[in-house]
Copies of this chain bind each other. A is one copy, B any other.
Amino acid sequence: MNNFKPYYAVIFTSTQSEVTEGYSEMAETMENLAKQHEGYLGIDSGSNDTSTTRSGAVGITVSYWESIEAIKSWKANTEHLLAQQKGREQWYNWYNVRICKVEREYEFKLD
Protein backbone atom coordinates (compact mmCIF):
# COMPACT_ATOMS: atom_id res chain seq x y z
CA MET A 1 0.00 0.00 0.00
CA ASN A 2 3.02 2.28 0.34
CA ASN A 3 3.53 4.81 -2.41
CA PHE A 4 0.14 3.96 -3.86
CA LYS A 5 -0.71 6.63 -6.40
CA PRO A 6 -4.45 7.32 -6.48
CA TYR A 7 -6.18 7.25 -9.85
CA TYR A 8 -9.77 7.41 -11.00
CA ALA A 9 -12.50 4.97 -11.97
CA VAL A 10 -15.69 5.73 -13.87
CA ILE A 11 -18.41 3.22 -13.01
CA PHE A 12 -21.00 3.21 -15.80
CA THR A 13 -24.09 1.07 -15.11
CA SER A 14 -26.92 0.91 -17.64
CA THR A 15 -30.01 -0.84 -18.86
CA GLN A 16 -30.43 -1.07 -22.59
CA SER A 17 -33.55 -0.40 -24.64
CA GLU A 18 -35.02 -2.74 -27.25
CA VAL A 19 -32.90 -1.01 -29.89
CA THR A 20 -29.59 -2.80 -30.26
CA GLU A 21 -28.77 -1.85 -33.86
CA GLY A 22 -25.36 -0.25 -34.12
CA TYR A 23 -24.67 -0.61 -30.41
CA SER A 24 -21.89 -3.21 -30.47
CA GLU A 25 -20.04 -1.40 -33.25
CA MET A 26 -20.25 1.91 -31.39
CA ALA A 27 -19.17 0.32 -28.11
CA GLU A 28 -16.12 -1.13 -29.84
CA THR A 29 -15.32 2.15 -31.60
CA MET A 30 -15.58 4.08 -28.33
CA GLU A 31 -13.43 1.57 -26.46
CA ASN A 32 -10.72 1.85 -29.10
CA LEU A 33 -10.96 5.64 -29.05
CA ALA A 34 -10.78 5.76 -25.24
CA LYS A 35 -7.64 3.60 -25.32
CA GLN A 36 -5.90 6.28 -27.36
CA HIS A 37 -7.04 9.08 -25.07
CA GLU A 38 -4.52 10.71 -22.76
CA GLY A 39 -4.74 9.43 -19.21
CA TYR A 40 -6.57 6.20 -20.09
CA LEU A 41 -5.45 3.29 -17.90
CA GLY A 42 -7.82 0.41 -18.63
CA ILE A 43 -11.35 -0.94 -18.85
CA ASP A 44 -13.45 -3.78 -17.41
CA SER A 45 -16.95 -4.60 -18.47
CA GLY A 46 -19.68 -7.15 -17.83
CA SER A 47 -23.38 -7.77 -17.83
CA ASN A 48 -25.69 -9.73 -15.57
CA ASP A 49 -27.46 -11.11 -18.62
CA THR A 50 -26.47 -14.18 -20.60
CA SER A 51 -28.02 -13.17 -23.92
CA THR A 52 -26.18 -11.10 -26.49
CA THR A 53 -28.68 -8.25 -26.66
CA ARG A 54 -28.62 -7.39 -22.93
CA SER A 55 -32.06 -5.74 -23.25
CA GLY A 56 -33.35 -5.08 -19.74
CA ALA A 57 -30.19 -6.40 -18.08
CA VAL A 58 -27.85 -4.21 -16.10
CA GLY A 59 -24.48 -3.75 -17.76
CA ILE A 60 -21.39 -2.47 -15.96
CA THR A 61 -18.39 -0.84 -17.55
CA VAL A 62 -15.59 0.49 -15.39
CA SER A 63 -12.89 2.57 -17.02
CA TYR A 64 -9.73 3.72 -15.25
CA TRP A 65 -8.05 7.09 -15.68
CA GLU A 66 -4.99 8.94 -14.39
CA SER A 67 -6.90 12.07 -13.37
CA ILE A 68 -10.24 13.88 -13.24
CA GLU A 69 -8.97 16.07 -16.07
CA ALA A 70 -8.50 13.03 -18.33
CA ILE A 71 -12.09 11.94 -17.56
CA LYS A 72 -13.46 15.42 -18.33
CA SER A 73 -11.50 15.60 -21.54
CA TRP A 74 -12.74 12.16 -22.65
CA LYS A 75 -16.32 13.09 -21.75
CA ALA A 76 -16.01 16.19 -23.98
CA ASN A 77 -14.44 14.35 -26.94
CA THR A 78 -16.52 15.18 -30.04
CA GLU A 79 -16.99 11.62 -31.28
CA HIS A 80 -17.73 10.47 -27.76
CA LEU A 81 -20.32 13.26 -27.32
CA LEU A 82 -22.13 12.02 -30.43
CA ALA A 83 -22.03 8.46 -29.08
CA GLN A 84 -23.42 9.65 -25.73
CA GLN A 85 -26.26 11.42 -27.54
CA LYS A 86 -27.08 8.33 -29.61
CA GLY A 87 -26.94 6.31 -26.41
CA ARG A 88 -29.62 8.48 -24.79
CA GLU A 89 -31.73 8.58 -27.95
CA GLN A 90 -31.55 4.92 -28.88
CA TRP A 91 -29.70 2.37 -26.80
CA TYR A 92 -30.29 3.12 -23.14
CA ASN A 93 -33.38 3.29 -21.00
CA TRP A 94 -31.29 4.27 -18.05
CA TYR A 95 -27.69 4.84 -17.07
CA ASN A 96 -25.73 6.00 -14.10
CA VAL A 97 -22.20 7.39 -14.00
CA ARG A 98 -20.08 7.45 -10.87
CA ILE A 99 -16.74 9.25 -10.79
CA CYS A 100 -14.56 7.63 -8.16
CA LYS A 101 -11.12 8.08 -6.70
CA VAL A 102 -9.32 4.75 -6.26
CA GLU A 103 -7.69 5.05 -2.85
CA ARG A 104 -6.46 1.51 -2.20
CA GLU A 105 -5.99 -1.61 -4.23
CA TYR A 106 -4.94 -5.18 -3.59
CA GLU A 107 -4.65 -8.29 -5.68
CA PHE A 108 -4.72 -12.05 -5.27
CA LYS A 109 -3.01 -14.31 -7.77
CA LEU A 110 -2.86 -18.10 -7.61
CA ASP A 111 0.72 -19.36 -7.35
Contacts and interface: CB of A to CB of B under 8 A. Distances in A.
Contact of A94 (B59, B88, B106, B110): B110
A105 interface: yes
A58 interface: yes
A9 B51 CA distance: 27
A14 to B, nearest CB: 9
A81 interface: no
Give chain A's interface secondary structure class: strand
Contacts of A5: none
A17 interface: yes
Interface in A8-55: 9, 11, 13, 17, 44-48, 50-52
A52 B104 CA distance: 31
A: contact size bracket: 35 or more
Given A46-B58, A46-B59, A109-B94, A102 B99 contact: yes
Nearest to A96: B107
A76 interface: no
Interface in A73-111: 88, 92-110
